[in-house]
Chains A and B, each alone.
Chain A
Amino acid sequence: MKNITKLGAVSALSLIVGASAAFAENIKIGFIDPLSGPFASTGTNGLHQFEFSADYMVNQNGGVLDGTNFEIIGFDNKTSPKESLIQLQVAIDQGVRYIVQGNGSAVASALTEAIDKHNRRNPDSRVLFLNYAAVDPALTNEACNFWHFRFDAHADMKMDALTDVMAADEGITKVYIIGQDYSFGTAVSKAANEMLAAKRPDIEIVGDELHPIGKVKDFTPYSRKIVASGADAVITGNWGADMLGLGKSIIENGYTGPIYTYYAAGSGITAAFGETGKGVIRLVSEGQVNPPPTPEAAAFYDAFKVKYPDGNVDQTRISNVIGMLAAAIEEAGTADDVVAVADALSDMEFESMWGSTLKMRPADHQLIQNVHIAKHTDEGVTYTFDNSDFGVVVESTVEMASADIPTTCEMKRPD
């Protein structure tokens, strides 16, 4: 009698354990980005936006494939390509099949290459690489592969939109280009040179230089050169502490023209610029926060602020990644066969709540979307950043920017 009770208890227990195990089999998404070091704030804010998007858009609506939840796991890569590859291996060993990364094109190139190799050698544990912010054009050109998808507009596309706006401004005659010394900084400089020469041959490039990434203590010598060059517009691809340091220093040392940037918002940067950045800092980006493009976007933002009162939704593309991945998994009917998911994703059209149609290009897995030029201001801001009075308000929009930009990608689909 006693034994039977025991047996019953044990089998009941094992049933419960088995059931909960099946229920807890989340779709794991590995987030490989800096969570410590000079760029920790950018990485951590990205992680929060991923966690929130997964919860708010997927898990709270019953998950995908009848009740499977998304689970975001953060891996700290310290912005190092080498460390990222170690973390990639750790992530794959933990059962992660979807990698998201964005901070640093050097890291992204290392990852996309490693993932391509891994997928060829290990057909049973293939992974997809959803790149949400690394914008070196090479990733969807010569370095493209079937497993990599980019959800941000790449540097050339953004520069295309940016130079359209600059070309229309007759007041601009001298431009200074400065960036971080790595693949992305080089790409920005190259694109700016080529496009300005094509659109406004009369504009003179009075300076074009790169500085070490994450190591400059004081940007004063650089800003002196910018002021001395007589530039009336500055273009920079800097991000994180390098963006704030450079921007503050340029303004402080007497420059008054516009600074066209890729990443001068959020992560404390908006608050730190405050009044000094008003009328100077311009931002080219996808995704529109001010004025709120749709009621859903506003609801999303409000809910985010409830969970992270100190956070910003400064990377709207993150919720696009989650939304499109969920849709692709539903369409493929599986989350385990990443080839099927990639096929679904590779020609997807998706209506983003941030007010744009998103079209994935099958040829190079580059997302085509609206690109905006926004300005740093405290006027007409619905959603401010960093709990300051300041935020970014969209000034002009390029619809489906660079939809026909050529690519050198030769995509090989696995058999």
Chain B
Amino acid sequence: MDLILVNLIDGLVTGLLLFMLSAGLTLIFSMMGVLNFAHASFYMLGAYFAYSISIAVGFWMGLLIAPLIVGVAGAAVERFGLRRVHQYGHVPELIFTFGLALLIEELVQFIWGKNQLPYSVPDVLNFTAFAISGNSIPAYKIFMIFISVGIFIGLLYVLTKTRVGMIIQAALSYPRTVEALGHNVPLIFMGVFGVGTALAGVAGVIAGPVLGTFPGMAFVLGSIVFVTIVIGGLGSLWGALVASLLIGWITTFAKSYNIEMENILNAIGIATPENMDENLFRDFWSITSPQIADILPYILMVLILIFRPAGLFGKRTQ
């Protein structure tokens, strides 16, 4: 029972982190139709910038400045790169962002080297917040939860309650009309791209100390972010949140409990074959949940695409 609570917290942290990445990506996709392959690279840039800044002026300035730099870099990429490529259609855009992802990874290795960086949790937060029957919850995790929840609330407020948010929402669905009403749609695109990448930057800044800061960090997170926005429904902030939390909890629980396939199959009434050594499905019977934890989100994505192609909260149906 105690462990369930601990796992709920751990899954929440993983999920919220994923949310910060997918929130930006889902907005960018729904607005511009661009699947930004370089999105996780901006997350990596956030961590690296924050590390360099934290050496000079400390962690907190890094948390403040690094996302700004990443956001400006993202806006610049949109203004001088994507906007030019945009007129040639979606495929060149896709290839452009893919190339950008590779470029950023090489650039990071060139500047910071290929080693793990000693980017660590600030001393102020380096203590155990509380413990649940021997499982300590680091204060830094609580801090991560607060930051990401704060960002979600802020984002939700801006998008639904402010004028800027309304224009953005309108531009999501009817860009031509919004343009005809005299709004500068390209500027909105640039702004959304900048804010989206800055969010990824924030995620990088706060995840770097716990998940490690190394050139492969974008790669390990890259594909799962896409899965999240597909499950949640493209363009839906709530969808991104729900899908992120769902993935966070599913993978955490699957890894924490050694549920064996044999037990599941027995439970639904399929008896274990007597001679396992010669059974065709021997490997299938011996699967345990931690082994498949990381592919569960992908299975979920396939199911969603089959039964609800627009995603959990998606509005678009075609």
B135→A254 contact, CB < 8 A? yes
- Our pick among B14, B114, B131, B251 for the contact of A44 (Cβ within 8 Å) is B114
Contact at B291–A245, with CB atoms within 8 Å?
A: no
* Interface flag for B33 (CB, 8 Å): no
Please indicate the chain B residues that have their CB under 8 angstroms from the CB of A36 in the complex: 109
Which of A96-104, A152-160, A265-273, A338-346 has 4 or more CB atoms under 8 Å from chain B? A265-273
Contacts of B7 in A (CB 8 A): 221, 224
Residues in A neighbouring B109, C-beta threshold 8 A: 36, 40
Residues from chain A with a CB closer than 8 A to the CB of B251 are 221
B115 near A267 (CB under 8 angstroms)? yes
Known A-B contacts A214-B220, A253-B136, A254-B134; A220 and B252 likewise in contact (beta carbons under 8 Å): yes
Nearest to A270 among chain B residues (CB) is: B118
Q: Please tell me if B120 contacts chain A, counting CB pairs below 8 Å.
A: yes
Evaluate contact between B134 and A227: CB separation under 8 angstroms: yes
Instruction: For A142, list chain B residues within 8 Å (CB).
Output: none
Nearest A residue to B120 via CB reads: A274
What residue of chain A has the Cβ atom nearest to residue B10's Cβ?
A220
Residues of chain A with a CB closer than 8 A to B220's CB: 38, 214-217
Q: Chain B residues near A253 (CB, 8 Å)?
A: 135-136, 138
Chain A, interface size category, equals 35 or more
Residue interface bits A242-264, CB-to-B below 8 A is 1, else 0: 00110011001110000000000
Contact with B along A213-253 (1 / 0, CB 8 A): 01111101110110110000000000001001100110011
User: Which one of B134, B212, B224, B258 has the highest number of Cβ atoms from chain A below 10 Å of its Cβ?
Assistant: B212
Hey, which bits of chain A sit against chain B, CB under 8 A? 36-41, 44-45, 181, 209-212, 214-218, 220-222, 224-225, 227-228, 241, 244-245, 248-249, 252-254, 267-269, 271-272, 274, 276, 310, 386, 388
Question: B residues touching A (Cβ–Cβ < 8 Å)?
Answer: 3, 6-7, 10, 13-14, 109, 113-120, 128, 131, 134-136, 138, 210-212, 214-216, 219-221, 224, 251-253, 255-256, 258, 290-291, 293-294
The 30 sampled A-B contact pairs (Cβ below 8 Å) are A37-B216, A38-B220, A40-B216, A41-B214, A209-B258, A209-B290, A210-B291, A212-B291, A214-B220, A217-B211, A218-B10, A218-B14, A221-B7, A221-B252, A221-B290, A224-B6, A224-B256, A241-B116, A241-B212, A244-B212, A245-B212, A248-B212, A253-B135, A267-B116, A268-B214, A272-B212, A274-B118, A274-B120, A310-B113, A386-B115
